[in-house]
Amino acid sequence: MMTVLKTSLLLLLLCCAVQLTSAGPLADDVAKSICCFNVNNLRIPKKQLDSYFWTSSSCPLRHIVFVTVRKRRFCMNPENIWAKLNLNHIGKKMASNSPK
C-alpha cells in the first residue's frame, strides 16, 4: 500500500514539474514572483536602502518591495507617504550610479 502511495506522489510531482517547465514565460513570472501579504509601516533610514522593485502583476495586491543594503526585503503600500518619498530618493541614487 505504501509503495502505491509513494509512486502516486512521485508521479504527481513529476507532472507538476513538467507543467511548470512547459508553460513558458508566464510560469517563470509566477514561479519567481514575490507577493506581499503583510505590509510593513517601518521607516527604514535612507542610508540603509539599496533598491526597490514592484511585486509581480500576478499578485493580488501591487506593492513596493524595498531592499536594504543587508538584502532584507520590506513590503510597503505604494500609497504610504514614506514609500513615495523613498522611491524618489532611491530613483535618484540609482540614476547617479548608472554608467553614462
Return per-residue pLDDT of the chain as tens, 100 residues: 677 666 665 555 555 555 554 444 444 444 446 898 888 888 889 899 999 999 988 888 899 999 999 999 999 999 989 998 888 888 777 777 767 5
Domain match, 23 and 43 both: no
Handedness of CA 40, 49, 52, 84 (dihedral sign): positive
pTM score, two decimals?
A: 0.61
Residues 47 and 17 in one domain: no
4 shares its domain with 53: no
For residue 15, what pLDDT is reported?
53
All three cell numbers of 99:
554608467
Same domain, 5 and 41: no
Supply the range of the domain harboring residue 94: 33-100
Residues 66 and 93 placed together within one structural domain of the fold: yes
User: Which candidate, 93, 58, 90, places its Cα nearest to that of 74?
Assistant: 90
On whether both 69 and 99 belong to a single domain, the answer is yes
* 39 & 28 share domain: no
Residues 38 and 19 in one domain: no
